């Protein structure tokens, strides 16, 4: 697709040497799983929105963003690996499918500052947060990745941004830190008693590789970080409690139900647009789960939004992993299923356990090939080729063998493709035909030599 146009979300874009958005991916844009109130991802989204009543929330922002929005506005360096064509779906050099909801941080802050009605009007509860000083964004995001039961090139994220003026921070700090009836910092979103939240918190000190920004005082960072952690604790606590209640009502897995609290820990992390940054982990059903990236927003971003007098925190996380856990959904492809045996199991506002229906037989095919002697082979190119040809019939694709011939120096790979439909029986003939097409395309698109 050189020198032509690509149509995404109703608009045409000029393609160029960066274009790598396949039609399989193009077809996913505008699917709007988050707008179906009975879809598990939308149910989870609504539960999270409810935890933040003073925030504006957005769930209809187009996935097509500029390279500037997705990377530059957030301080990604020019050579950051996330920008690479092997990881990101580009429409052209300057336009791409967002890889994370953080792509909207600057834009939404600016819209608030400048009272840009066209954007602010897209908030579901537009008037709730004048100035867009606190907001949530739920949206589909796109990343080139491997194929297995927990990776899909389209998934969903929830972003939160919460900013404070320096004056507000001073005022809020005056309030009693450990009130029994109110959450710390008078954060009205939280109805739960602080004492209950407090035992979930393990506030780590700020590490050296992950510094406080020079523009901020230690006190300011301590306040904003604590506010962020309380807010996140609250959200996780409420949602996991609901999941536990659902399990109890379902009358199974009695050992899980006794858990009434969910210990949380904060691991130092790195993101170009927050410092300090953390990864939040929650102990749930015997395991530490990495839930969410978060941190104190880089002051440069707020300066660029015309808000040099404000500080903020932000978090962002994937909805699928949490939804799979809460609803007991075993395969990420199921979120895209239109099989009534899947779709009929959920209803708005409710977390319930998914009852698996009979699995259709799977079928594996191996393909061995010599890597091209010129140019590179990148695994994600193979993944996209398989998706483009086999769609959701492919369950996973794995490298099972690799060797380099001692004399010729040529390298051979063998990949195993596992085909299995989520919702129907597929015949062997059908799979054979698809496998032939995959092999054909591998020669044409990747320049490999089949063995
Ligand atoms: N956007 C980050 C990601 O996708 C998560 C994040 C959001 C981290 C906001 C910090 C603050 O990994």
pLDDT in tens, 221-264: 999 999 999 999 889 888 888 888 777 776 545 444 444 567 88
Mutation test residue for ligand 1: of 80, 279, 293, the one with most atoms within 8 Å of CB: 293
The tens digit of pLDDT for each residue in 83-137 reads 999 999 999 999 999 999 999 999 999 999 888 888 888 888 765 566 789 999 9
Mutation test residue for ligand 1: of 69, 102, 159, 274, the one with most atoms within 8 Å of CB: 102
Q: Which residues pair with 137 in a beta bridge?
A: 58, 159
Q: Which residues pair with 151 in a beta bridge?
A: 148
What pLDDT is recorded for position 120? Answer: 87
Averaged pLDDT, 152-172: 94
Q: Measure 314 CA to ligand 1 centroid, in angstroms.
A: 8
Q: Cβ atoms within 10 A of the Cβ of 98, count? A: 25
Task: Give yes or no for residue 40 having a pLDDT over 50.
Answer: yes
Q: Measure 135 CA to ligand 1 centroid, in angstroms.
A: 15
Q: Which residues pair with 403 in a beta bridge?
A: 412
For 41-50, 257-266, 289-298, which range has the lowest pLDDT when averaged over its residues? 257-266
Would you place residue 31 in the very low, low, confident or very high pLDDT band (cuts 50, 70, 90)? very high
Token pair, residue 153, equals 């090139």
Look up the pTM and report it.
0.87
d(Cα 78, Cα 181) in Å, to the nearest integer? 49
Averaged pLDDT, 394-413: 94
- The whole-angstrom distance between residue 444's C-alpha and the CA centroid of its chain comes to 33
Q: Would you say 145 and 136 are in contact if contact means Cβ atoms under 8 Å apart? A: no
For 124-128, 168-172, 198-202, which range has the lowest pLDDT when averaged over its residues? 198-202
Tell me the DSSP string of 195-259.
Answer: HHHHTT---PPPPTTSPPPTTS-HHHHHHHHHHHHHHHHHHHHHHHHHHHHHHHHHT--HHHHT-
Token pair, residue 118, equals 């066209």
- Kind plus residue range of the DSSP H or E element containing 159: strand 154-165
d(Cα 448, Cα 410) in Å, to the nearest integer? 11
HSE at residue 78, side-chain half, CA atoms within 13 A, is 0
Would you place residue 194 in the very low, low, confident or very high pLDDT band (cuts 50, 70, 90)? very low
Burial class (CB in 10 A: 0-12, 13-18, 19+), 72: middle
Q: What's the distance, Cα to Cα, between the start and end of the chain in Å? A: 28
What contacts 223, CB < 8 A, 6 or more positions away?
Answer: 169, 172, 173, 185
For 131-140, 179-188, 422-431, which range has the lowest pLDDT when averaged over its residues? 179-188
Q: Measure 431 CA to ligand 1 centroid, in angstroms.
A: 39
Give residues (CB < 6 A) around ligand 1: 100, 102, 159, 271, 274, 277, 293-295, 314-316
What pLDDT is recorded for position 127? Answer: 58
d(Cα 448, Cα 451) in Å, to the nearest integer? 9
- Please give the C-alpha separations between residue 391 and each of 4, 27, 147, 148, 343, in angstroms, as whole numbers: 24, 11, 11, 13, 20
What pLDDT is recorded for position 250? Answer: 66
Q: Measure 289 CA to ligand 1 centroid, in angstroms.
A: 16
What pLDDT is recorded for position 62? Answer: 97
Task: List the residue whose alpha carbon is closest to atom 5 of ligand 1.
Answer: 316
Q: Would you say 239 and 177 are in contact if contact means Cβ atoms under 8 Å apart? A: no
Q: Where are the alpha helices (DSSP H) in 251-297?
A: 254-257
- Please give the C-alpha separations between residue 112 and each of 2, 132, 347, in angstroms, as whole numbers: 39, 5, 34
The tens digit of pLDDT for each residue in 322-356 reads 999 899 999 999 999 999 999 999 999 999 989 98
Query: Could you give the percent of the chain with pLDDT greater than 90?
Result: 67
Mutation test residue for ligand 1: of 65, 98, 100, 235, the one with most atoms within 8 Å of CB: 100
Q: Measure 259 CA to ligand 1 centroid, in angstroms.
A: 29
Task: List the residue whose alpha carbon is closest to atom 12 of ligand 1.
Answer: 293
Q: Are strands 134-142 and 56-58 parallel, antiparallel or unpaired?
A: parallel
Q: Would you say 178 and 198 are in contact if contact means Cβ atoms under 8 Å apart? A: yes
Q: Average model confidence (pLDDT) for the chain?
A: 87
What pLDDT is recorded for position 197? Answer: 38
Q: Would you say 315 and 232 are in contact if contact means Cβ atoms under 8 Å apart? A: yes
Q: Measure 294 CA to ligand 1 centroid, in angstroms.
A: 6
Nearest atom in ligand 1 to the alpha carbon of residue 99 is 4
What pLDDT is recorded for position 260? Answer: 53
Q: Would you say 223 and 185 are in contact if contact means Cβ atoms under 8 Å apart? A: yes
Q: Measure 293 CA to ligand 1 centroid, in angstroms.
A: 5
Nearest atom in ligand 1 to the alpha carbon of residue 318 is 4
Task: Give yes or no for residue 199 having a pLDDT over 90.
Answer: no
- The whole-angstrom distance between residue 271's C-alpha and the CA centroid of its chain comes to 14
Q: Which residues pair with 278 in a beta bridge?
A: 268, 294
Nearest atom in ligand 1 to the alpha carbon of residue 292 is 5
Nearest atom in ligand 1 to the alpha carbon of residue 161 is 9
Q: Cβ atoms within 10 A of the Cβ of 151, count? A: 14
Q: Cβ atoms within 10 A of the Cβ of 362, count? A: 14
Task: Give yes or no for residue 445 having a pLDDT over 90.
Answer: yes
What contacts 249, CB < 8 A, 6 or more positions away?
Answer: none
Mutation test residue for ligand 1: of 76, 271, 321, the one with most atoms within 8 Å of CB: 271
d(Cα 149, Cα 3) in Å, to the nearest integer? 36
Nearest atom in ligand 1 to the alpha carbon of residue 102 is 1
What pLDDT is recorded for position 449? Answer: 96
Would you place residue 202 in the very low, low, confident or very high pLDDT band (cuts 50, 70, 90)? very low
Nearest atom in ligand 1 to the alpha carbon of residue 160 is 9
- Please give the C-alpha separations between residue 169 and each of 7, 105, 132, 231, 411, in angstroms, as whole numbers: 46, 21, 17, 16, 60
d(Cα 142, Cα 156) in Å, to the nearest integer? 8
For 45-49, 117-121, 159-163, which range has the lowest pLDDT when averaged over its residues? 117-121
Mutation test residue for ligand 1: of 80, 302, 316, the one with most atoms within 8 Å of CB: 316
What pLDDT is recorded for position 282? Answer: 87
């Amino acid at each position: 697709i050189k020198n032509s146009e690509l149509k995404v979300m109703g608009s045409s874009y000029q393609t160029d040497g960066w274009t790598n958005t396949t039609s399989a991916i193009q077809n996913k844009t505008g699917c709007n799983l988050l707008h179906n109130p009975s879809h598990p991802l939308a149910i989870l989204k609504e539960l999270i929105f409810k935890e933040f009543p003073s925030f504006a929330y957005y769930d209809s922002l187009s996935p097509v963003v500029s390279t500037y929005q997705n990377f530059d506005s957030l301080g990604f360096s020019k050579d950051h690996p996330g920008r690479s064509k092997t990881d990101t779906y580009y429409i052209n050099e300057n336009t791409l499918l967002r890889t994370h909801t953080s792509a909207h941080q600057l834009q939404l802050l600016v819209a608030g500052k400048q009272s840009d009605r066209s954007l602010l009007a897209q908030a579901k509860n537009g008037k709730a947060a004048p100035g867009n000083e606190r907001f949530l964004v739920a949206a589909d995001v796109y990343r080139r990745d491997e194929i297995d039961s927990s990776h899909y090139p389209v998934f969903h994220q929830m972003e939160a941004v919460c900013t404070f003026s320096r004056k507000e921070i001073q005022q809020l700090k005056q309030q009693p830190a450990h009130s029994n009836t109110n959450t710390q910092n008078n954060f009205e979103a939280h109805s739960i008693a602080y004492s209950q939240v407090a035992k979930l918190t393990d506030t780590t000190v700020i590490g050296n590789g992950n510094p406080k920004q020079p523009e901020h005082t230690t006190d300011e960072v301590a306040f904003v970080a604590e506010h962020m952690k309380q807010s996140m604790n609250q959200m996780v606590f409420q949602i996991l409690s609901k999941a536990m209640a659902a399990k109890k009502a379902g009358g199974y897995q009695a050992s899980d139900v006794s858990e009434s609290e969910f210990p949380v820990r904060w691991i130092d992390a790195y993101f170009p647009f927050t410092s300090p940054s953390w990864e939040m982990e929650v102990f749930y059903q015997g395991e530490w789960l990495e839930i969410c990236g978060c941190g104190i927003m880089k002051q440069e971003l707020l300066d660029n939004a015309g808000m040099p007098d404000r500080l903020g925190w932000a978090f962002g996380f994937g909805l699928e992993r949490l939804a799979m856990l809460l609803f007991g959904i075993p395969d990420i492809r199921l979120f895209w299923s239109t099989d009534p045996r899947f779709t009929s199991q959920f209803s708005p506002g409710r977390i319930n356990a998914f009852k698996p229906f009979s699995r259709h037989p799977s079928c594996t095919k191996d393909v061995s090939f010599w890597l091209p002697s010129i140019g590179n082979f990148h695994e994600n190119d193979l993944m996209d080729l398989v998706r483009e040809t086999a769609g959701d019939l492919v369950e996973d694709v794995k490298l099972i063998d690799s060797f380099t011939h001692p004399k010729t120096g040529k390298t051979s790979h063998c990949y195993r493709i596992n085909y299995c439909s989520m919702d129907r029986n597929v015949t062997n003939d059908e799979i054979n035909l698809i496998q032939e097409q995959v092999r054909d395309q591998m020669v044409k698109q990747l320049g490999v030599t089949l063995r």
